[in-house]
Amino acid sequence: MSGANGHGATLAEKILARSAGLEHVVPGEIVEGNVDLAMMHEQGAQTVAPFHQMGATEVWDPDRVVIAIDHWVPASTEGAAVLHRMLRKFAAETRLEHFYDVGQHGICHQILAENGWVVPGDLAVGTDSHTNMLGAMGAVAAGIGPTEMAAVLALGRLWLKVPPTVRIEVRGRFGPGVTAKDLVLRILGEVKTTGAQYKSVEYGGPTIDRLSMPERFTICNMTTEMGAKTGMVAPDQTTYDYLAPIAKHAMHPLRPDPDAAYERRVEIDVDGMPPMVACPYSPDNVRPLPEVAREHVVIDQAFLGSCTNARIEDLREGAALMKGQKVAKGVRFIVSPASTKIYDQCLKEGLVQLFTDAGAVFTNSSCSACFGGNMGILAPDETCASSSNRNFPGRMGAKEAKIYLMSPAAVVASAIRGEVSDPREFA
């Protein structure tokens, strides 16, 4: 399979060609892809009216549609309750059985990841911008709007413009206290929030090859903050081992060609890299964490959660630091696991007790404080240390509030100290 100008094809080009039944595709080409998996959360309620306006009565393949309520769960407003009711009614009418309702709930992207709904070679779409996270499976995973989703539900197809690809090659080894979150923040500092607009971002290199699936999820998740259409890691044995017991449908593993044509290449060396932090008011306003820690930025709230960093590995990392410590006086520390399965695992491992004994509040699984619409909302001029993905004005409440994005360990270190802190000081 060849790509642009006789060169080999990138991973995104190969997957989009497969989904469209074509030999090859080139950037800028419009293709009609067959969708392998469609996901909706509360915003998916906005697809119901256009779905019916199109004259549709049935979903193209109920086994390829997943609904997960996650932003307001359980419903915290009348408006949220109405959205939930609309989704339940629609699911019943169209026989959509894969509905993760209260009790089975979790952040939609985590639900897809831990239940094997997206596999290598898939074209997966969802009504949330961070659907990019599933590109870690070696898939094209992208957020789409409610009207587009209505068409997907009716037809199982979606037209897409083939994006050019940015290749990010990462070398070196993480030092103590440095994580995949620090890496993606470093990349954002270089690529910027508009540096990959409507592009595919392909991550590779020895460092990426060594990352676990949860670490790959973190990196692909924040590809969204680069403006990208999709972010992806080519599938390898790590991918197959993760998916072997859970994959919901057949894989079509593809890898980029060695001579693929990339619009841009970015090389990153993590040897000697310190932990990083994105300062207000943009995810690309990135600085070394030790430098910011020296400024003694006092915090009002710490948040360990979100689709970026609320997997069991993240919570264990935070708990290891929290053990024997207390949350600083005057700090509200919110811990929100990414799914009910992760919540259950935290119960089994004693992490809920550990965090609450230290003075944190451990919530049910949801988007929680990340999006500023449910719990943990910030007042004007308050400051939050967060493991989430965005720190734009108004993201977590008041537009005057300040959000510092960092790793789970750095969030916990900051909660203990009461100011933005380097987790390595607790080693």
Q: For the chain, which ranges sit under pLDDT 50? A: 1-2
Whether residue 223 is found in the same domain as residue 300: no
Whether residue 19 is found in the same domain as residue 92: yes
CA dist., res. 366 & res. 310, Å (int): 10
Which domain CATH number covers 333? 3.30.499.10
Whether residue 317 is found in the same domain as residue 412: yes
Whether residue 241 is found in the same domain as residue 336: no
Structure token pair of residue 111:
């639900």
Last residue of a domain, one of 267, 300, 318: 267
Whether residue 197 is found in the same domain as residue 97: yes
Whether residue 201 is found in the same domain as residue 309: no
Residue 419 lies in a domain: yes
pLDDT recorded at residue 5? 53
Exposed / middle / buried, residue 74 (Cβ in 10 Å: 0-12, 13-18, 19+): middle
Residue 254 lies in a domain: no
Q: Kindly give, in sequence order, each residue whose CB lies less than 8 Å from that of residue 85, ignoring residues fewer than 6 positions away.
A: none
CA dist., res. 395 & res. 309, Å (int): 17
Whether residue 294 is found in the same domain as residue 372: yes
**Residue-range definition of the domain harbouring residue 386:** 276-426
Last residue of a domain, one of 237, 267, 297: 267
Whether residue 240 is found in the same domain as residue 296: no
CB atoms within 10 A of CB 175: 14
pLDDT recorded at residue 82? 95
| 264 SS3 class | strand
Tokens 């710490």 found at: 302
Whether residue 243 is found in the same domain as residue 280: no
Strands (DSSP E) found in 42-179 = 65-68, 99-100, 123-126, 140-143, 157-161, 165-171
Structure token pair of residue 276:
């990083």
pLDDT recorded at residue 3? 52
Q: What is the pLDDT of residues 55-94, one digit of tens each?
A: 999 999 999 999 999 999 998 999 999 999 999 999 999 9
pLDDT recorded at residue 6? 60
Q: φ, ψ for residue 294 (rounded to 5)? A: -70, -15
pTM: 0.95
Residue 166 lies in a domain: yes
pLDDT recorded at residue 372? 85
Strands (DSSP E) found in 283-339 = 286-288, 301-304, 332-335
Q: φ, ψ for residue 63 (rounded to 5)? A: -80, -5
pLDDT recorded at residue 44? 84
Whether residue 142 is found in the same domain as residue 285: no
Residue 199 lies in a domain: yes
Whether residue 106 is found in the same domain as residue 45: yes
What is the secondary structure of 219-268 as a DSSP string? HHHGGGGGT-SEEEE---HHHHHHHTTT--S--------TTB--SEEEEE
CA dist., res. 310 & res. 214, Å (int): 10
- Look at the chain and report how many structural domains it folds into: 2
Q: How far is CA 190 from the centre of its chain?
A: 20
Whether residue 392 is found in the same domain as residue 331: yes
